[in-house]
A and B are shown apart, each in its own frame.
Chain A
Amino acid sequence: MLKFTEEHEWLKIEAGVATVGITEHAAGQLGDLVFVELPETGSTFSKGDSAATVESVKAASDVYCPLDGEIVEVNQAIVDDPSLVNSDPQGAAWFFKLKLANPSEADALLEEAAYKELVA
């Protein structure tokens, strides 16, 4: 199941675990990323908490946790090479895997078509 948030994140949800990243639109708006800070595995977040930080040459931006859950894995590749987020934001440059506290809450998130309309 692929879902989106109004904060420009995507979630690919399999068996109650969401792989989370930022959308192509968001990556384009942020510009060249030079630094990524990811949460620690095992930490828990509520929906809307700042879970990660991305920095472009110009500015820092928060990446919000899209739903309640626990971080079970993070993608060290984007910490080592932040430009991966610009080149493949919806593929190899995922940010973290989130074990959802309430998987059914994902139903309320945006479908791809609705997200595309939002950023059109």
Chain B
Amino acid sequence: MEDNPHLKHTPLHALHLSLGARMVPFAGYDMPVQYPEGVMKEHQHTRVAAGLFDVSHMGQVIVRPKSGKIEDAALALEKLVPVDVLGLGEGRQRYAIFTNAEGGILDDLMIANRGDHLFLVVNAACKDADFEHLKKGLADTCEVTMLDDRALIALQGPHAEAVLGELWADVSAMRFMDVAEADLHDVTCIISRSGYTGEDGFEISIPLESAVDVTQRLLEHPDVKPIGLGARDSLRLEAGLCLYGNDIDTTTTPVEAALEWAMQKARRAGGAREGGFPGADRILGQFAGGASRRRVGLKPEGRAPVRGGANLFADAEGKTPVGQVTSGGFGPSVDGPVAMGYVDSGHTENGTTLFAEVRGKYLPVAVAALPFVKQTYKR
């Protein structure tokens, strides 16, 4: 396993190697794709116990209002996202998207209200561009800082609360999308009850110098195993969650991507702060009149996985193209192939049979409701 000098390392890189991880390049980082147990067992362990993920490659950004008033930062950020940031209470987090002038999606992110500042988590591959975008958009009102002195891990699964509860009793008071500060082994961490697996769980931002220590102690718990990017992908796909760059990008709008739920009433037509974000005309227009295509779940009827990039047709002969798969693979918990993709309006109703082109054959797939597994968030 050669060390690629062009790849960045997270603070947990040496720990991954010591755990026997197979490393792959991902978003400019040398990341663990799987550990010796393998993707299948890692996936299943996360669904029945607790999985620990290194997500330190993601960007952690602080947006601090120059006025000292959090409302000013919230209103400034609302110019970049079609989301109600002003209405986000202290200690709460919300999913958001950066849009561009055409209504496309520049990135998806989490926004937390931390009282005197906003705390953002953005995708690794987009973080430098996001940082520039934020600085440019918010320079007048806010200080924008990319934190390079913190690691980020996720602890996901039905045992995550009990595991974390052994270090911090108050964890059980947190609800889905709550954000709080807590000491884990005397290290002050920022903890959100959220994740990317469809399971209950937590994301934990840890000061760099304590990252290995806190992570190792969590891994000592018999219910916790390290989980690589392979299982992270199959878990999020079963949960119906988008992967930026695959399922959403600058060519997809939030309405096409079926992310209307991420746009609260205040920002929609007739809302208190209607529009006012990049691409608002197009996005609100699609809100009212519908889009010509939509992201849907796709359940292949056979055993063959249907991967991202596969073309979709209305007929079994491949004559009438109706869309494309954007993510697809095998769902270990579903025990079968699962996929999602974009389908022309008129073919998006659940149960519609479409045909995916795989190695020259046209395999039947059914339009299916997302998620494929029941989400177990503690609301």
Contacts and interface: CB of A to CB of B under 8 A. Distances in A.
Interface of A: 31-32, 34-35, 37, 53, 55-60
B324 interface: no
Contacts of B231: 57
A55 B331 CA distance: 12
Nearest to A58: B230
Interface of B: 33-34, 38-41, 43, 230-231, 233-234, 303-305, 307, 329-330, 332, 337, 359
A57 B230 contact: yes
Nearest to A83: B40
B38 A32 contact: yes
Contacts of A55: 304-305, 330
Given A31-B230, A35-B330, A57 B39 contact: yes
Given A31-B34, A31-B230, A34-B330, A56 B39 contact: yes
Contact of B303 (A32, A35, A58): A35
B307 A60 contact: yes
A57 B307 contact: no
A95 to B, nearest CB: 16
Contacts of A58: 33, 39, 230, 233-234, 329
B235 to A, nearest CB: 10
A58 B305 CA distance: 9
A115 B7 CA distance: 31
Contact of A32 (B40, B304, B305): B40
B304 A57 contact: no
A35 B329 CA distance: 10
The CB with the most chain A CB atoms within 10 A, among B43, B233, B305, is that of: B305
Given A32-B40, A60-B307, 10 more contacts: A31-B38, A32-B39, A32-B41, A34-B40, A34-B337, A53-B359, A57-B330, A58-B33, A58-B230, A60-B305
